[in-house]
Chain A
Amino acid sequence: MNIRFSAPALIFFFIGGMMYISLNATAGEFQGSITSESRFFPVAPLYPEQHGHNLSLSLQGKYRHDWPSRNEYIVFSPFLRLDQHDNLRTHADIRELYWHKSASKWELRLGLCKVFWGVTESQHLVDIINQTDAVEGLSSTPKLGQLMLNFSWIQDWGTFDFYVMPMFRERTFTGRRGRFRTPVPISDNETHYESSAREWHTDFAIRYSHYFGNWDVGVSHFSGTSRSPRYLAHIFGIAISSDSPWANLTGGRIDSPLIRLLSSIPTARLIPYYDQIEQTGIDLQYILGEWTLKLEAIHRSGQERTYTAATGGIEHTFYSVFNSPIDVTAILEYMWDSRGSHALTPMQNDFFFGTRIAFNDVQSTSIVSGTIVDAATGSTAFGIEASRRIGSDWKASIEARIFANIPSNDILTTIHKDDYIQAKLTWYF
Chain B
Amino acid sequence: MKKIRLLQKHSLFCLLIALCILMGGIAAEELSPEERGLQIAQAAWEGDTGYGDSISELYMTLRLGSGQDAKRELRIRTLEVSDRETRAMVIFDTPADVRGTALLSHSFTDKSDTQWLYLPEIRREKRIAGGGRSGPFMGSEFSFEDMSSQRVEKFTYKYIADEVLNGITCHVIERYPVEKGSGYTKQVAWLDTKHLRVQKVDYYDRRSELLKTLSSHGYEQHEEKYWRPTTMEMLNHKTGRSTLLEWRNTKFNNGFTTRDFEPNALRNAR
Q: Which residues of A contact B (CB under 8 A)?
A: 31, 33, 62, 64, 66, 73, 100, 102, 104, 107, 114-116, 119, 143, 152, 154, 159, 209, 211, 216, 285, 287, 289-292, 315, 317, 319-320, 323, 325, 327, 360-364, 389, 392-393, 395, 426, 428-429
With the chains together, A319 CA to B144 CA distance in Å? Answer: 12
Given A104-B257, A287-B127, A319-B131, residue A428 in contact with residue B99 (CB < 8 A): yes
Known pairs A115-B123, A216-B127; A389 contacts B136 (CB<8 A) = no
Q: Would A395 and B97 be within 8 Å (CB), given that A290-B129, A317-B129, A320-B132 are in contact?
A: yes
Within the complex, the shortest CB–CB distance from B185 to chain A, in Å, comes to 13
Q: Judging by beta carbons under 8 Å apart, are A159 and B95 in contact?
A: no
Cβ contact within 8 Å between B139 and A364: yes
CA distance A361 to B122 in the complex (A): 24
Q: Given that A114-B123, A152-B264 are known contacts, is A389 also in contact with B132, CB under 8 Å in the complex?
A: no
Q: Is B166 an interface residue, CB under 8 A from the partner?
A: no
- Decide if B127 touches A317 in the complex (CB within 8 Å): no
* B-side contacts of A102, CB under 8 Å: 268
A396–chain B nearest beta-carbon distance, Å: 10
B270 at the interface (CB under 8 A from A): yes
Name the residue of chain A whose CB is nearest to the CB of B257: A104
Chain A hits for B127, CB < 8 A: 211, 216, 285, 287, 292
Known: A317-B129, A364-B139, A428-B97. A211 touches B123 (CB 8 A): no
A289 adjacent to B64 (CB under 8 Å): no
CB pair B259–A392 under 8 Å, yes or no, is: no
**Interface assignment of B135: CB less than 8 Å from any CB of chain A:** yes
Q: Which residues of A contact B70 (CB under 8 A)?
A: 362, 392
A213 to chain B, nearest CB (A): 9
Bound-complex Cα distance A291 to B114 (A): 13
- In chain B, what residue has the closest Cβ to A319? B132
With a cutoff of 8 Å between Cβ atoms, the chain A residues found around residue B37 in the complex are: none
B238-270 residues with Cβ-Cβ distance < 8 A to A are 257, 259, 262-264, 268, 270
CA distance A73 to B94 in the complex (A): 22
- A327 adjacent to B136 (CB under 8 Å): no
**Docked CA distance A361–B64 (Å):** 11
Known: A31-B99, A291-B129. 15 other contacts (CB 8 A): A31-B96, A33-B97, A64-B270, A73-B270, A114-B122, A116-B122, A159-B264, A211-B263, A287-B127, A289-B129, A289-B131, A290-B132, A392-B70, A392-B71, A428-B97
Can you list 10 pairs linking A and B with CB atoms under 8 Å apart?
Answer: A33-B96, A66-B270, A116-B122, A209-B264, A289-B129, A290-B130, A317-B131, A320-B132, A325-B135, A364-B98
Query: Bound complex: CA of A31 vs CA of B94, how far in Å?
Result: 12
Nearest-Cβ distance from residue B249 to partner chain A, whole angstroms: 16
Shortest distance between the CB of A317 and any CB in chain B (Å): 6
Provide the residues of chain B in CB contact with A154, threshold 8 Å. 259, 262, 264
> A327–B133 Cα gap in the complex (Å)?
11
CB-CB under 8 A from A292, the residues of chain B are 127, 129
Q: How far is A221 from B134 in the complex, measured between Cα atoms in Å?
A: 41
Is B62 positioned at the interface, with any CB of A under 8 Å from its CB?
Answer: yes
Instruction: Collect the chain A residues with CB atoms within 8 Å of residue B97's CB.
Output: 33, 364, 389, 395, 426, 428
CB distance from A124 to the nearest CB of B (A): 9
Set of chain A residues within 8 Å of B95, measured between Cβ atoms: 364, 389, 392-393, 428
In the complex formed, the residue of A with least CB distance to B106 is A211
Give B68's nearest chain A residue, CB to CB: A362
Distance of A104 Cα from B257 Cα, bound (Å): 9
CB nearest to A60 among chain B residues: B121
Choice from B99, B123, B183 contacting A320 with Cβ under 8 Å:
B183
Q: Which residues of A contact B134 (CB under 8 A)?
A: 319-320
Complex Cα–Cα for A217 and B117 (A): 17
CB of B50 closer than 8 Å to a CB of A: no
Q: Residues of A contacting B124 with CB < 8 Å?
A: 116
